[in-house]
Amino acid sequence: MKSLRAPLLLSVALVVLCVPASAEMPAACRVAEPEVVTAFPLPRTADAIVKKKLDVLVIGAGSSVLPGKDGAEKAYPARLQKALIEKYPGVAVNVQTDIKRSRTAAEMSAQLISLLGTARPALVIWQTGTIDAMRAVDPDRFGTNLDSGINAARSAGADVVLVNSQYSPRTESMIALGAYNESMRWVALQQELPLFDRFGIMRLWSEEGTFNFHSATKKLDTAERVHDCIGRLLATLVAEGVRLAAPPGGGR
Amino acid sequence: MAEKRDERNAAMSTGVMPAVASKRDLRLDLFRGLALWLIFLDHIPSNVVSWVTIRNYGFSDATEIFVFISGYTAAFVYGRSMQQNGFIVAGARVLKRAWQIYVAHVFLFAIYLAEIAYVAHSFDNPLYTEEMGILNFLQHPDETIIQALLLKFKPVNMDVLPLYIVLLLGFAPALWLLLRSATGALIASAALYALMWQFDFNIPSYPRGSWVFNPFAWQLLFVFGAWCALGGAQRLKRWIESPVTLAFAVVYIIFAFSITLTWHFPRLAAYVPHVVSELIYPINKTNLDVLRIAHFLSLAVITLRLVPRDWPALNSWWAYPAVLCGQHSLEIFCLGVFLSFAGHFVFTEVSNVVAVQVAVSIAGIAAMTGAAMVIAWYKRVERGGSARPPDTPSYARGKA
């Protein structure tokens, strides 16, 4: 999967050449924009937008937040909120988060059920995979845990978008993400919901030289820019899902 | 001492034992050597060159080749020993081999610890606080190292040797049965495989989970390899050479290739009929999915047709590096694991541009070949036969 990057890169490069530059997207993020495609609609989210009130819940582990006192504000959930507000003027967009470090999909799935009762989101964005890979949770069981969380969210009236692991070259030889990324891709396909391929996007940035993920730096600037891009691209994905859900003739 | 060995080798090459093939099949060495190279390439993360490896074009990968051929050669070497020296002696030799592999695994673990400790010390990036959690085990070295010695804690890509150890631990009784009733042993092995799928048992891992390569599943391929070595291949000859089998193999490989394409280009996944994907997914590597076995067998059928046993190229200079690596598989496998660590280290510390990736891959294979040449030379010297012409008998001394 990872190894066919060269032809893939070429095709992406061609697509990039043909895609008109969007005004609000920084050039760095735009490189990865063609990777953000989905064939699956987000009907509940589209409904919420029509009703001018969109509640989003981001549930995730450590890679959904940045360290520091304004870490939450610079991390992708807050950037997503900002991008969605820009995309849907007049809609009250509220992104809530439930981010706690070192949680597996099973733990998050259990907590999701109680959260849904109080938060009542139209859209759940679920970041997971890395902790399960680090703890070597059985990949099949990981898939079942995803399914139960997704089913819970859906029966509570929410759409779901999955977000997979980060691309982390330094730890690549220590964390075997392959089976978990595969499992997420498969579950997303089965459940017919969008997968935000954060791993693929970050790898593309690394290959294009957009960001240097190798540097051992304590500084936050790169991390903040990465999260900003991820927030914007997630908003693009959500908008795409909303567009697919919209009835023909009706716009956003 | 040396004389005694030579006597035994002479006895071996006369082929007094009807059940065990009399001459080492160089194709085994060639393909095991190639499998070792592919495993090395696949184990370097984000390596452009790894797109040449077979796992990108079908369901099975180099692990299947390695396990099958290891079973084949184990039966070849220890089967003869068991017929000549009895169960106890042959069993002891198998256990000695398992011990060597265990020592090799622990050695690799030490290198892995060195790498991970270095990364833990030198790398600190706010983007990766989640991923850095993998280094937490360094805070409990007591627990981790003991679990590693018990083969329960296994770092990424260090799962093949523990599998090999467990397969060898159970090999003496399996071989005993194979020599009495080859087909009975194969049926028993398949029954164990089926029971494993039915009741889903595996060896537990630390801190949780279970082995990446379930020995109760992978033993099937190992025993099947041994069964082929002990006359099974002859019995299958008619099937293998039948055009119908060949047609099935070709069709299946094309099918597997088309499915694999959808992994590389997710947009193609929409063209896979729902019924088919319901049927085939998930393709389980841990428990050696039937689809993987079928893919390996298809590849084997086609390979046997394309590469006859007496293919002159097997003795040619360009096949020589792979053949040589295949003959010293344990050492070269370990070196490959080490080199893949080192390759990844170069990517992260120096550069990972495509040219460097290609250079690291080629240098790694060259290092494996060079090491195999040195090992072969050592073995000749230690046998006291440095003056001996290095002709075919040296091939027959490759280890299982």
Rounded Cα distance between A176 and B145, Å, is 20
Query: Given CA atoms A28, A29, A33, A37 in this order, what sign does their dihedral have?
Result: positive
Task: Name the residue with higher pLDDT: A63 or B268.
Answer: A63
> What letters, b where the CB count within 10 A reaches 16 and e where it falls short, cover B17-35?
beebbeebbbbbbbbbbbb
CA proximity to B159, closest of B58, B67, B93, B75:
B67
Overall average pLDDT of the B147-166 stretch: 91
Spell out which residues of chain B touch residue A61, defining contact as CB-CB under 8 Å.
130
Q: What is the pLDDT of residue A53?
A: 95
Using the beta-carbon criterion (under 8 Å), do B157 and A173 form an inter-chain contact?
A: yes
Q: What's the CATH number of domain A36-245, 2.60.40.10, 3.40.50.2300, 3.40.50.1110, 1.10.260.40?
A: 3.40.50.1110
> Percentage of chain B surpassing pLDDT 70?
90
> Percentage of chain B surpassing pLDDT 90?
59
Min Cα distance B217 → chain A (Å) is: 16
Phi and psi, residue B318, nearest 5° = -85, -20
Contact A185, A198 (CB under 8 A): no
Using the beta-carbon criterion (under 8 Å), do B134 and A174 form an inter-chain contact?
A: yes
**pLDDT tens digit string along B277-326?**
888 887 888 999 999 999 999 999 999 999 998 888 888 999 999 999 99
Rounded Cα distance between B313 and B292, Å, is 29
**pLDDT tens digit string along A207-252?**
888 888 887 777 788 899 999 999 999 999 999 999 999 765 444 4
User: Looking at the predicted structure, is the pLDDT value of residue B194 above 60?
Assistant: yes
- Which residue of B127, B136, B289 is the best one to mutate when testing the A interface, meaning the one whose CB has the most A CBs within 10 A? B127
Q: What is the pLDDT of residue B10?
A: 40
Cis peptide before A121 (omega within 30 of 0): no
- In single-letter form, the type of residue at position B25 comes to D
N residues, chain A: 252
Domain edges within chain B: 1-26+33-52+312-400, 67-233
**pLDDT tens digit string along B59-110?**
999 999 999 999 999 999 999 999 999 999 999 999 999 999 999 999 999 9
Using the beta-carbon criterion (under 8 Å), do A143 and B119 form an inter-chain contact?
A: no
- Which residue of B125, B160, B202 is the best one to mutate when testing the A interface, meaning the one whose CB has the most A CBs within 10 A? B125
Task: Name the residue with higher pLDDT: A152 or B275.
Answer: A152
Using the beta-carbon criterion (under 8 Å), do B128 and A166 form an inter-chain contact?
A: yes
Minimum CA–CA partner of B136 in chain A: A134
Residue B201's pLDDT band (cuts 50, 70, 90): very high
Min Cα distance A45 → chain B (Å) is: 23
- In single-letter form, the type of residue at position A96 comes to Q
Minimum CA–CA partner of A62 in chain B: B130
B350 CB near a chain A CB, below 8 Å? no
Using the beta-carbon criterion (under 8 Å), do B130 and A136 form an inter-chain contact?
A: no
Would you state the structure tokens that stand for residue B42, as one six-digit string?
Answer: 């696949």
Overall average pLDDT of the B313-341 stretch: 93
User: Looking at the predicted structure, is the pLDDT value of residue B263 above 60?
Assistant: yes
Overall average pLDDT of the A137-165 stretch: 94
Spell out which residues of chain A touch residue B128, defining contact as CB-CB under 8 Å.
63, 166, 168, 170-171
Positions of E strands within chain A: 53-60, 92-99, 123-127, 159-163, 195-196
Spell out which residues of chain A touch residue B267, defining contact as CB-CB under 8 Å.
37
Highest mean pLDDT (candidates B302-311, B355-364, B389-398): B355-364
Q: What is the pLDDT of residue B7?
A: 40
What does the mean pLDDT of chain A come to?
Answer: 85
In which element (H, E) is residue A174 found? none
**pLDDT tens digit string along A69-120?**
888 899 999 999 999 999 999 999 999 999 998 899 999 999 998 899 888 9
The DSSP letter of residue B228 is I
In which element (H, E) is residue B166 found? helix B160-169
What does the mean pLDDT of chain B come to?
Answer: 87
User: Looking at the predicted structure, is the pLDDT value of residue B189 above 60?
Assistant: yes
- Which residue of A173, A187, A227 is the best one to mutate when testing the B interface, meaning the one whose CB has the most B CBs within 10 A? A173
B233 CB near a chain A CB, below 8 Å? no
How far CA B127 is from CA of A27, A73, A195, in Å, comes to 21, 14, 21
Phi and psi, residue A101, nearest 5° = -65, 155
Rounded Cα distance between A86 and A109, Å, is 31
Number of H helices, E strands in chain B: 15, 0
The DSSP letter of residue B53 is S
User: Looking at the predicted structure, is the pLDDT value of residue A13 above 60?
Assistant: no
Q: What is the pLDDT of residue A95?
A: 96
Min Cα distance B169 → chain A (Å) is: 25
Strands A123-127 vs A92-99: parallel, antiparallel or unpaired: unpaired
Q: Where do we find the tokens 């190798």? A: A214
Min Cα distance B348 → chain A (Å) is: 6
Rounded Cα distance between B367 and B65, Å, is 22
Spell out which residues of chain A touch residue B217, defining contact as CB-CB under 8 Å.
none
Min Cα distance B43 → chain A (Å) is: 8
Contact B337, B376 (CB under 8 A): no
pTM of the model as a whole? 0.82
Phi and psi, residue A28, nearest 5° = -60, -45
Would you state the structure tokens that stand for residue B85, as one six-digit string?
Answer: 């020296």
Min Cα distance A100 → chain B (Å) is: 10
Q: What is the pLDDT of residue B400?
A: 54
User: Looking at the predicted structure, is the pLDDT value of residue A21 above 80?
Assistant: no
CA proximity to A153, closest of A126, A180, A131:
A126
Q: Is A135 exposed, middle or buried (0-12, 13-18, 19+ CB in 10 A)?
A: middle
Spell out which residues of chain A touch residue B269, defining contact as CB-CB under 8 Å.
189
Q: What is the pLDDT of residue B399?
A: 52
Q: What is the pLDDT of residue A225?
A: 93
Q: Which residues contact A19 (CB under 8 A, 6 or more apart)?
A: A30, A33, A34
Phi and psi, residue B374, nearest 5° = -65, -45
Cis peptide before B282 (omega within 30 of 0): yes
B263 CB near a chain A CB, below 8 Å? yes
B281 CB near a chain A CB, below 8 Å? yes
Q: What is the pLDDT of residue B126?
A: 87
Name residues 200-229 of chain B within 8 A of A (Cβ).
Answer: 205, 207-210, 212
